[in-house]
Amino acid sequence: MFNVNSYNRIVIKIGSAVLATNTGKVNHDVLAAISEDIAWLFKKNKEVLIVSSGAIALGRKKIKFSENLSLPESQALAAHGQIELMSAWKKHLTKFSIPIGQILLTPRDTELKVSSENATQTVSKLLEARCLPIINENDSTATDEIRFGDNDLLAAKVAKLIDADLLIILSTVDGLYNSVKDVQTKNRNSLVKEVNKITPKIKKMAGDASQMGKGGMISKIDAAEICLKNKCAMVIASGKNKEPIRGIGKRAKQTWFIKK
């Protein structure tokens, strides 16, 4: 089912490079387009949940640290940038009368029974109230050295927690390509359209593509593996397209992960 409209409970993950510029500013054109598509999903009575990266990236606008951030510096940027991030979401979604609720999670919160149950209950009540949950990793307090990978794994774990049937990952790339060169040239013939099983070959392709330093394809494939094990479809598409969500089924460039 290569049509977003075929699904009912949808998690949408937006990467930092999609929402924020290199100078720490919000990309309002992109956020406006995504918000309009979210409103379209709401009108169709879909249950929608956002996993939004971008706090650390937006924190760089007014707080100046070195390029290679220490953990405390990352946490400080996240504390400031999270306010900027939520303000931006609120600004755009208010235009469509969509209220929002913020949820910050650490990796452990999705694994421990009590905290994961609490998170699930909170999300359920927000969805019930037609209030859009916006989740981000709690970077300001998390001290784990192993991160979720720009929230790709967080999004997959959240999709598992709430029994979502679709995870949409909006990235700066159109999907899974065969190699770095193919990503750079956007070779349409090299774009993998459908994946039914995560194999060593798929992981190798993701590893090659991730050498570019953007796209984080390895973490996306790990997220897809979680989704496929839990009967949740996943699609990777560019978040900078016109109608980034509504247009997924209409465009040729995207990669779907669907278990057959």
3-state helix, strand, coil split of the chain in percent (to 5) is: 45, 15, 40
| pLDDT of residue 202 exceeding 60 | yes
Mean of the per-residue pLDDT values of the chain: 87
Whole-angstrom distance, CA of residue 58 vs CA of residue 21: 8
Q: How many CB atoms are closer than 10 A to CB 83?
A: 12
In the chain, the largest separation of any two C-alpha atoms, in whole Å, equals 49
Report the SS3 class of residue 166: strand
Of the pLDDT bands very low, low, confident and very high (cuts 50, 70, 90), residue 39 is very high
Of the pLDDT bands very low, low, confident and very high (cuts 50, 70, 90), residue 173 is confident
Q: Which residues contact 210 (CB under 8 A, 6 or more apart)?
A: 216, 217, 218
DSSP 243: S
Whole-angstrom distance, CA of residue 248 vs CA of residue 237: 7
Tens-digit pLDDT profile for residues 243-260: 999 999 887 789 999 987
DSSP 242: S
pLDDT at 143: 56
Of the pLDDT bands very low, low, confident and very high (cuts 50, 70, 90), residue 23 is confident
pLDDT at 184: 67
pLDDT at 220: 92
Whole-angstrom distance, CA of residue 222 vs CA of residue 44: 30
| pLDDT of residue 214 exceeding 80 | no
Whole-angstrom distance, CA of residue 51 vs CA of residue 104: 10
Report the SS3 class of residue 233: strand
Q: How many CB atoms are closer than 10 A to CB 98?
A: 18
Give whichever of 122-136, 144-158, 166-180 has the largest mean pLDDT: 122-136
| pLDDT of residue 97 exceeding 80 | yes
| pLDDT of residue 10 exceeding 70 | yes
Residue-wise burial string across 38-74, b where 16 or more C-beta atoms lie within 10 A, e elsewhere: bbbbbeeebbbbbbbbbbbbbbbbeeeeeeeeeeeeb
Whole-angstrom distance, CA of residue 164 vs CA of residue 239: 20
| pLDDT of residue 24 exceeding 50 | yes
Least confident of 60-74, 166-180, 186-200: 60-74
